[in-house]
Amino acid sequence: MSFLSEVHLDDKFGPFVAFQEALGFVPNLLRAQTLLPRVIEAQAELESAGRLQEGAISRIQKERILLIVAADRQDTYCVAAGNRVLSSLGVSDRQIDDLLNKSRCENVSAADLACLQFCLKLSRHAPSIHSEDIQALRAYGFEDKSILETVFVTALAAYRGTLSVGLGPEPDFGPRKITSRRVDPPLGVACHALLPDPHSAAQKRPYLRAPYLSSKTFSIVQKSHGFIPNFFRSQTLRPDLLEAELEAVDRILLPEDVLTRTQKECILLAVSAGNLNSYCVAMHCNLLRGLGMSAEEGDQVAVDYHLSSLSEADRALLDFAVKLGVRFSEFSGEDIVKLRTLGFTEEQILECEVVVALNNFANTLQMGLGIEPDFEPPLGQNKVHLSAVPSPPMERGLVAPSLTGVQDPDAGLVAQAQAGKLEAFEELVRRHSQLIYRALVAILGDPVEAQDAMQDALLSAFKHLAGFQSRSKFSTWLVSIARNTAFQRLRGRKEVESLDGGEYEEDREFRPRQVKAWQDNPEQFYSKSEIRQLVERGILGLPTKYRAVVMLRDIEQLSTDEVSRQLGLTVPTVKVRLLRGRLMLREWLSPHFTTSVRRATS
């Protein structure tokens, strides 16, 4: 028996049949997850696509990777199973011993040893992977498809290893002795042989080419995330692996019958932060924003969830997840007992472990493929410092670090204003008066009323200045004050049109109707003031949610990420609304600028 309860599943259960046919046995690692058959199906999809068949690299190459990573993690369960599988593929005991022995490895080619060294580096410390490592593999003859599969199998080793620690399954076979605590880097290959000419290895990301694949392929993630992350777009060389990952997302992350989506996103965020994976941290911060969590709270979960406003139980769940995902050598069955004591069910604990496994799979893939960020990191570049390994608060002294130190050009004046210096406050609001005014126009849709509301907003900002804690930029905070002021006025006239909501599908149905070509330089036929009036009328005619985004992005010229923070929306929502707003403006302007319209400059 494993750490968690199990139920009987018939041997005809699809994934069991697949493993029986491919390996000759059904691993106890799968049987330990019978409380949630859908998560077994997810793992089976990943293993079927990436492990259980020949691909760009051979079955034996894949099993070697799984074995050596498992041995490196001191994972006796996976080593025993890997040993049996390699034997069944015709690899001799001596060859397996060689793999696990640092001193010799005569039957493995230099290219395969280089590959194993890469996998160990990726498994041990993924952030240290660079384009040079990929170039080294290419120098040994690995093509992009082989490299992608190599990274995928290493990620799969992380998935399996995480579950092996968290579930404590009964061994499928007798143990295989692991001689060293950590497997040494292979193994007769000098390190310099792996390094290419540094001048030829540009730090180019992503590391592999990714041919175009129709957006329809990504419909699952389009629905769940509201956009298609680069994480998936970067793997289009292997649609079969991609499909397995999308299925895993569908079966593990989307159902809400056990843990909520917010709990799962918090787990993904906290463990990604522990793994120093800024790509995934930015992604899950954004997804949490879409689920209603404020940007500041999401940042706080990433930096130190102990200081967040999550419930005590949810913080304990994250302690459990981070220990399993990041400090796995400290994990024991006692950690499961603690969660049970707090009221978590067996299914919830199992799902948490599977989410952590999926997270470590994703973190490994992202680092191994050098996938470029979809968003700016939380609070902008280098502004949130992720700690190397999050520890429980008692290990860090009484006061844990809070989310402070946001680099803000206004910081000096803000401190003076908070100390009571009115001139500093005056200077601050002069700096940002256009931004405040445009935010008010964006929501109120009335320039005259916006001027009136501006006075209220500034008085309100001064009144609440002491409460500003530098957890965001001062300008962001000012806009939030302006936004609240504007919504108060709208409520007063009972015309509240919320900025919230993630109506991706509804928004995507919009299609342009005007298809006449525009003139080459259409603005030359109008005076500047005519153009301005035309644009202003068009923008004021937009529904609030589109107007707000267009105003801040195209008039105020903030970045998409900045607009998302200012309006408390996710980046994908901003992008969808920006496109629609621009297209609506295009429809409005078209009759004035198409080739059939001719008029002289007035």
Partner 1 sequence: MITCEEFFLEFGDYLENRTSPEVRKELELHVSQCRVCQVLYDSTCKTVKIVTESGSFDLPKSVSDSIIDRVTARLRAGPT
Interaction site with partner 1 (CB under 8 A): 206, 209-212, 214-216, 230, 233-234, 236, 422, 425-426, 429-430, 433-434, 437-438, 441, 447, 451, 454-455, 458-459, 462, 508, 511-512, 514-518, 522-523, 528, 531-532, 535-536, 539, 550-551, 554-555, 557, 560, 575-576, 578-579, 582-583, 585-586, 589-590, 593
**Residue 75 vs 556, nearer CB to partner 1:** 556
In angstroms, what is the minimal distance from the CB of 500 to partner 1? Answer: 20
In angstroms, what is the minimal distance from the CB of 523 to partner 1? Answer: 6
**Residue 22 vs 429, nearer CB to partner 1:** 429
In angstroms, what is the minimal distance from the CB of 270 to partner 1? Answer: 28
User: What is the distance between the alpha carbons of residues 438 and 427, in angstroms, rounded to a whole number?
Assistant: 18
* CA-to-CA separations, 559 to 393, 553, 555, in angstroms, rounded: 36, 6, 11
In angstroms, what is the minimal distance from the CB of 601 to partner 1? Answer: 15
User: What is the distance between the alpha carbons of residues 22 and 138, in angstroms, rounded to a whole number?
Assistant: 30
Q: What is residue 432's three-state secondary structure? A: coil
| Phi, psi for 559 (deg, rounded to 5) | -75, 160
How many Cα atoms sit within 13 Å of 489 on the Cβ side? 20
**Residue 338 vs 516, nearer CB to partner 1:** 516
In angstroms, what is the minimal distance from the CB of 153 to partner 1? Answer: 24
Q: Are 117 and 199 in contact (CB under 8 A)?
A: no
**Residue 298 vs 581, nearer CB to partner 1:** 581
User: What is the distance between the alpha carbons of residues 1 and 169, in angstroms, rounded to a whole number?
Assistant: 6
DSSP-derived secondary structure for 196-246: --TTT----SSSS------GGGGHHHHHHHSS--HHHHTTTT-HHHHHHHH
In angstroms, what is the minimal distance from the CB of 213 to partner 1? Answer: 9
**Residue 49 vs 442, nearer CB to partner 1:** 442
* CA-to-CA separations, 335 to 145, 169, 205, 346, in angstroms, rounded: 40, 16, 39, 13
In angstroms, what is the minimal distance from the CB of 380 to partner 1? Answer: 18
353 is written with which tokens? 């472990």
Query: For residue 134, which of 70, 81, 146 has the smallest C-alpha distance?
Result: 146
Looking at residue 351, its amino acid is E
**Residue 340 vs 508, nearer CB to partner 1:** 508
**Residue 8 vs 528, nearer CB to partner 1:** 528
**Residue 230 vs 286, nearer CB to partner 1:** 230
- Which residues, other chains included, contact 169 with Cβ-Cβ below 8 Å and sequence gap of 6+? 2, 27, 28, 29, 31, 32, 77
Three-state secondary structure along 507-556? HHCCCCCCCCCECCCHHHHCCHHHHHHHHHHHHHCCCHHHHHHHHHHHHC
In angstroms, what is the minimal distance from the CB of 201 to partner 1? Answer: 19
**Residue 95 vs 519, nearer CB to partner 1:** 519
The angle formed by the CA atoms of residues 256, 154 and 237, to the nearest 5 degrees, is 80
